[in-house]
Amino acid sequence: MYIAVTGAAGFIGSNIVKALNSRGDYEVLAVDDLTQGDKFVNLADCDIADYIDREAFLRGLDEGTFDGVLAAISHQGACSDTTETNGRYMMQNNYQYSRELLEYCTDEEIPYIYASSAAVYGAGPEFREDRACESPLNVYGYSKFLFDQYVRRNWDQRTAQVAGLRYFNVYGEREQHKARMASVAFHFFDQYRSSGRVRLFEGSGGYADGEQRRDFVSVEDAVAVNLFFLDHPGKSGIFNVGTGAAQSFNDVAVATVNACRTHANEAALSLGDMQQQGVIEYIPFPAELRGKYQSYTQADIGALRASGYDAPFLTVEQGVARYVEKLLSRAASY
């Protein structure tokens, strides 16, 4: 029996494949669209049973090719570009694709774990898995919200586990292909290594410079939550995946810079030191993001904890330091 991972060459998908390998699971069907060929590097150190193009996978499901051989589908494939304005493209990739997989899993009575997003909440201020809290600011968030609504409407028809995971701001290894949509930790690392400074947005939404706050969650933790649900197929629902503690973009910048400085045997700097020395530079808030930007997010993880997931989450300081060490190690190998 195979675990099918869609978006397997992407950020979270490839980390799930690697984590499955790390615990001895190699019967993985990696499903993706490798039009962006450089994503292959995310799977280069993974062992998989087979690679299948997304469209071929959908045809195979329709034709019965995979009937009786799938233990579960971990659906991580999506267009995650929050600035994408082509709604037709977004709905095909994020809504219709997710629906087809859910319907197959329902017919075949196999677990279905899928990626949702904190983008469904929009400007907040509450981030709880409840319709009253949901008001997306862009078509990406709407595509994720609409599928969550489809799941809710068809909840009584499920025949096996259905678990939707609303990722907050995930950062970590194997995100380099995401370009401008990579995490701020990734961009801060690149900026500091190339110029000795990092760039943050000026204040917005009532927040001071760099003090906009998000729930930044390490991909290590996001993967651990996925494995928890894979291992507990009796648990269903829609769950926030965040730390439950918002931290500022300034916190991410300080953690990134100091991780680099520690690696270079240099003394850590405070936020004030970095501002005074010009290590942190604040740039104008982009006009095109006004009204479409989440200045604050903080996951309510009550439902996740109630499901039985009790592992601690890495703080920005812990998670970013671990991530930077891996980035530096990779840079050294090149």
- Kindly list the catalytic residues: 140, 178
Secondary structure E strands in the chain: 2-6, 28-32, 50-53, 70-75, 112-117, 162-167, 169-171, 198-201, 213-214, 216-218, 237-241, 247-248, 280-283
**DSSP summary character for residue 284:** P
How many whole angstroms separate alpha carbon 319 and alpha carbon 107?
A: 40
The DSSP bridge pattern shows strands 28-32 and 2-6 to be: parallel
How many whole angstroms separate alpha carbon 46 and alpha carbon 40?
A: 10
End-to-end Cα separation, the chain, in angstroms = 37
How many whole angstroms separate alpha carbon 151 and alpha carbon 161?
A: 12
**DSSP summary character for residue 96:** I
What sign results for the dihedral spanned by CA atoms 232, 96, 76, 84?
negative
